[in-house]
Structure 1
Amino acid sequence: MENSNSKNSLIRDIKFRHLMMIAFGGAIGTGLFVGTGGNIHQAGPLGTLIAYAVGGIIIYSIMLSLGELASYFPNTGSFGDYAYRFIGPATGYVIFWLYWIGWVISAGVEYIAIGFLMQYWFPQIPVYWWVVACASIVFLLNSFSVKIFAEGEFVLSLIKTIAVILFLTIGFIGICYHFYLNGFSGIFENFYFQQGGFFPNGFSAVLGTILVVIFAFSGTEIIGVAVGETKNPREVMPKAIKATLVRLIVFFLGSVFIISVFLPMNDSTITQSPFVSVLERIQLPFLHNGIPYAASIMNFIIITALISTANSGLYGASRMIYGLAEKKMYFSIFSKLNKRGTPIYALYLSMIFSLIALFTTIFAPEVVIEALISVIGFTLIIVWISVSISQYIFRKRYIAQGNSIKDLPYKTPFSPITQIVGILGCSVGAIGAFFDSHQRIGILASIVYIILCYLIYFLTKDKFKHLK
């Protein structure tokens, strides 16, 4: 555990309100605001709702397991540290690198999404200029103290949280008015198709969508990293989990339902936010042509949301590199902190790799983004599975040593059923996605990456003299 009084340790300056908003900030981003359109286009409205419900169950079970581990071992290494302790050093090493690559790619995807959204106002300015601008903002927020990062994330997350609440409110009013005008059948006219019924692309498309939905929920777990720089972690971690999980699932399922009601499947794309499309066409009492300027306002809010997610992503990635170096699994320079307590060299490395997003503007952006999202989703699945396994092994060892479950700061309910649900859910998502030709290349690339990480571990473990 990091000691906040040590000059060589991370400073515990994150408060409960920060931690809760960091969980929102990591999750409410491209996956919800942009990726939902692509999910509906692939799986259909009902299929997407099912995929998000399954994704919600999976993330709920993972977070319950994470709560027990992070409350007892509140350190920045988080998932990598837990896998290192309870599964094995080699797997811990791989989990560190998996979570790192997932977040640097995620930050890059956020940059690209912002570039597309900025074209709504400035179609003549190339996407890559906005990528550079966004990356610069995110780097500045992370390069100062963790308190500056946390305050910035709090404000950005609060904006998008309020925006989603307003969207849900407007959508509910719109659905009521739609029911008044067109009756019950009018609300669900986008859900059933003459060819294919409720699942126009087959139920296999729903299974393939689960991996993309996992990407949408990704970021909630980043509080397991942030807890290492949080005041009173054993008290605030359980509170943060309880406060965020149900709200997030309601936000996601509610938003998908509203979008499905007002946006036909064939009008949904991955390059335009369905939130903007809905607000442009929703009918409300006295506002039959949509809400004036709502699309521009929503576009701005979504951009701040994506900056927030990229901000969380760069934070999480830099802390993984720091955790590796701290355990002597990587070059010691990356464990060095600047005078404000930021692992600046780990931040530099993560920033450089997140800028790989610039190269996607040269190729077909839609194809590249889909492949990158599948990489993020698959790597996160492995990380989540490791959390469930680590918690199960920890609980067994804890009891075997004569300790009482009652003494844990936070107890995962329904153990081991909770862990089984998490592992099976993640596995189903990965298998389903493998049969989707668009996502298969990302999964195969991730598997190659995992094999390389294991090989590098065994080749370098004597060089770095890993801590035991």
Structure 2
Amino acid sequence: MSSPVHSNDHDFEIKPSPHLETQISTIKSPTSEENRQQGWFSNFKDGFKPMKLDNVDPNMTELEKANFIAASTPAERAMKPRHLKMIAMGSCIGTGLFIGTGTTLRTGGPAGILIAFFIVGIQVYCVIQALAEIAVAFPTSGSFVQYATRFVSAPFGFATAWIYAINWIIVLPLELVAASLTIQFWNTEINSAAWVVIFYFFIMFIHLFGAKAYGEAEFWFSLIKLVTVIGFIIFGIVIDCGGGPNSDGYLGGKYFHDPGAFANGFKGVCSVLVTASFAMQGTELTGLAAAETANPRKNIPSACKQVLWRIIIFFMVCLTILGLLVPYTDKRLMGSGSADASASPFVISIRNAGVKGLPSVVNVVIMLSVLSVGNTAVFACSRCVASLANQGFAPKIFDYIDQQGRPLGGYFISFLFGLLCFLAAYKDEDTIFTWMMAISGLSTLFTWSSIILVHIRFRHALKYQGRSTDELVYTSQTGLFGSYFALTLCILILIAQFWIALFPIGKSPNPTDFFHAYLTAPVWFFLYIFWVFYKRDFRPWIPLKDLDIDEGRREVSLVLVQQEIEEEKAYLRTKPFYYRIMKFLC
């Protein structure tokens, strides 16, 4: 069962945890012959029966049991490479880019948003590389939600996982309402509540068919978004060069000089940092889907590498074009709603150019983007809730996973809170939704910080236990230095957001604006302190010697994997230089 791995200095064996040696999980599912005999409907109905894990050792500790269940959960593994790559490329292209850039342009100016998104983009690349290394080594159900408890501490994992879950619980009803409001762009007389119902059941229908349906839906959603962004970049270059119907000639960098490159100086740039983090939320989903892809070693790194292209093309280039076409003083950037397409700088630039019909096309894409985020919210929330229940952080009933790998307990929670979308008919719904968003406003930064901290702890545990990165089938391109750098950026952004929350731009200090911008932090600390005293667990972290760095690895023979990697490297050495560069980046 164990396989020798040779390092440069000494030989040693990687031995899986004794629980994996002795406890073999079996899944009670029909054979292919039985499937043919029972018929489609019977198979579909039986798929909802609970997954069974036999022979789980009752002597395991809570942490060991959680790790064992996460490693043994038979996620459907239906995610194909094209699904993961498109999720990685398009998961964070949504309202944050199409709508949110209106606010960031107004508060930061065209140069301010480029600087802020560039800083966050570097941070995101370091985070996703760290996550790829851990997710390939441990493609467990729950991914980084599980890792925080395993490699840091139970209180830290409890607080971080719940903040992440709450974020996606809240996002679903918000996005359903936002999707219904996009219809108002065409001044339809149909009540928004009717569209809410349609979109609610549409997303529910997708997840009825599990991870494969989610991946397929996200593939097409993301493809449409990518085509739209690329088309807009080409359109923007033409317009900036004076090619539009209402063109006043060559624009060039006019708006960088008048009204200027920065709207509120350094403070304006700081205000954009958290918005940029929110816009790139979803990058970590490739790690959450780790257990649901057939070949994590090849699929996850390839998907994660493409984050670099997304940052360069779909954010930096696109934001540069927007800064060239729309001045930050444009009154229309003051849109009131999160789905107000008329406030989108994309729509404003198209209208300024006098191109008819395109604003409606962009609004359709905005609506699909909002639905895509809602679809993602269910996927992320359900896996997170199941992981919480496995770790003992939530009622046991929510760890119900059926024979098709669908976390039905997580689906129940997600769709139950999704019913909050019907608050859209309430007169004070704006106030309610604003405070709901405040709870999870900084959740992205806390999640990324936990991923980075897990990577740092994992690397130190390897070194402490006399192991090396030679046994890893994929290592982060940014290494340990990149993780320390990204963690430093997370801390600095949290400090900058605290400053902006305490002294908002154009306003006097007030508690309402402060908690709207910074409520996540006290909620996280409350959850952390609660678990510390509830479980009497006062350890800030698990000692390096006690960290389990074996259980949960899917690869059986690391020697064979290393041999395969060497063969791939040898093959690459025979290829031209440009091909090797492409493989390194993609």
> Do both share a fold (TM > 0.5)?
yes
Alignment of 1:350-365 (within 5 A): 350-359=414-423, 362=426
**What's the counterpart of residue 440 of structure 1?**
514
2:482 is aligned, of 414, 418, 424, to 418
Q: Which deviates more from structure 2 when the two are superposed, residues 322-331 or residues 443-452?
A: 443-452
Q: Does the CA-based 8 Å contact 2:89-2:306 persist in structure 1?
A: no
Q: Secondary structure at the match of 2:86?
A: helix
Mapped pair 1:147 → 2:193:
no
Kept in 2, the 8 Å contact 1:193–1:200? The answer is: no
Partners of 1:96 and 1:252 lie apart in 2 by 28
Residue identity matched to 2:207: N
> Equivalences for 1:206-285 in 2 at 5 Å?
206-265=269-328, 266=330, 267-270=332-335, 271-272=340-341, 273-282=344-353
Distance (Å, rounded) in 2 between the aligned partners of 1:83 and 1:134 = 34
Q: In 1, distance between residues paired with 2:426 and 2:257?
A: 38
User: What is the distance in 2 between the residues matched to 1:4 and 1:191?
Assistant: 62
Contact (CA 8 Å) 1:334, 1:345: kept in 2 or not?
yes
Please give the alpha-carbon distance, in whole angstroms, between the structure 2 residues aligned to 1:36 and 1:379.
20
Amino acid at match of 2:299: V
- Partner Cα distance (2:424, 2:451) in 1: 32
Instruction: Return 26-35 or 252-261, whichever deviates more.
Output: 252-261
- Of 24, 27, 32, the match for 1:6: 27
Higher share in helix: 1
Q: CA deviation at 1:70?
A: 0.8
Distance 2:458 2:277 in 1: 25
1:42 matched to which residue of 2?
107
Q: CA deviation at 1:97?
A: 0.7
Query: In structure 2, do the counterparts of structure 1 residues 151 and 347 end up closer, same or farther at CA, with 3 Å as the change threshold?
Result: same
**2:267 corresponds to which of 183, 187, 204:** 204
Which residue number corresponds to residue 310 of structure 1? 374
2:91 to 26, 30, 35: 26
Which residue is 2:523 aligned to? 449
Deviation at 1:461, TM superposition (A): 4.5
Residue segments in structure 1 that go unaligned for 5+ positions in a row: 283-288, 463-467
Answer yes or no: is the 8 Å Cα contact 1:52–1:210 preserved in 2.
yes
Q: Which amino acid aligns with 1:379?
A: S
| Cα pair distance change 1:376/1:44, threshold 3 Å | farther
Partners of 2:421 and 2:274 lie apart in 1 by 21
Q: Distance in 1 between matches of 2:474 and 2:287?
A: 13
- 2:523 maps to a residue whose letter is Y
Q: Quick one: distance in 2 between partners of 1:134 and 1:4?
A: 38
Matched residue SS, 1:75: coil
What CA RMSD, in Å, does the superposition of the two structures yield over aligned residues?
A: 2.8
Contact 1:378/1:446 (8 A) holds in 2: yes
Please state how far the C-alpha of 1:395 moved relative to its aligned partner.
0.5
Moved more, 452-461 or 168-177: 452-461
TM-score (norm 2): 0.71
Which structure's CA Rg is the greater one?
A: 2
Over 3 Å counting, the alpha-carbon distance change for 1:367 and 1:331 in structure 2 is closer
Residues 209-252 of structure 1: CA deviation (Å, up to 9, x unaligned): 11011000000111110111111112211111112332243201
Extract unaligned runs of 5+ from structure 2.
1-19, 29-50, 52-72, 505-511, 537-547, 549-586
- What displacement does 1:175 show? 2.2
Letter in 2 for 1:72: A
Give secondary structure in 1 for the equivalent of 2:255: coil
Number of the residue aligned with 2:9: none
Question: Post-superposition shift, 1:260?
Answer: 1.8
2:410 matched to which residue of 1?
346
Aligned CA distance change for structure 1 residues 160 and 150 (closer, same or farther; 3 Å): same
Higher relative contact order (CA 8 A, sep 6+): 1
% identity of equivalent residues: 30
Please tell me whether the aligned partners of residues 28 and 309 of structure 1 are also in contact (alpha carbons under 8 angstroms). Answer: no
Distance in 1 between residues matched to 2:89 and 2:416, nearest whole Å: 25
SS at match of 2:393: coil
Which of 395, 410, 414 is equivalent to 2:459? 395
Q: Which amino acid aligns with 2:208?
A: S
Evaluate the alpha carbon distance shift between residue 12 and residue 461 of structure 1 in structure 2; reply closer, same or farther with a 3 A threshold: farther
Amino acid at match of 1:450: W
Distance in structure 2 (CA, Å) of the matches to 1:254 and 1:55:
15
* Closer, same or farther: CA 182–297 of 1 in aligned 2, 3 Å: closer
Give the CA deviation at 1:202. Answer: 3.0
CA distance in 2, matches of 1:140, 1:244: 29
Over 3 Å counting, the alpha-carbon distance change for 1:31 and 1:366 in structure 2 is farther
Residues in 1 aligned to 2:477 and 2:496: alpha-carbon distance in whole angstroms? 28
Secondary structure in 1 aligned to 2:176? helix
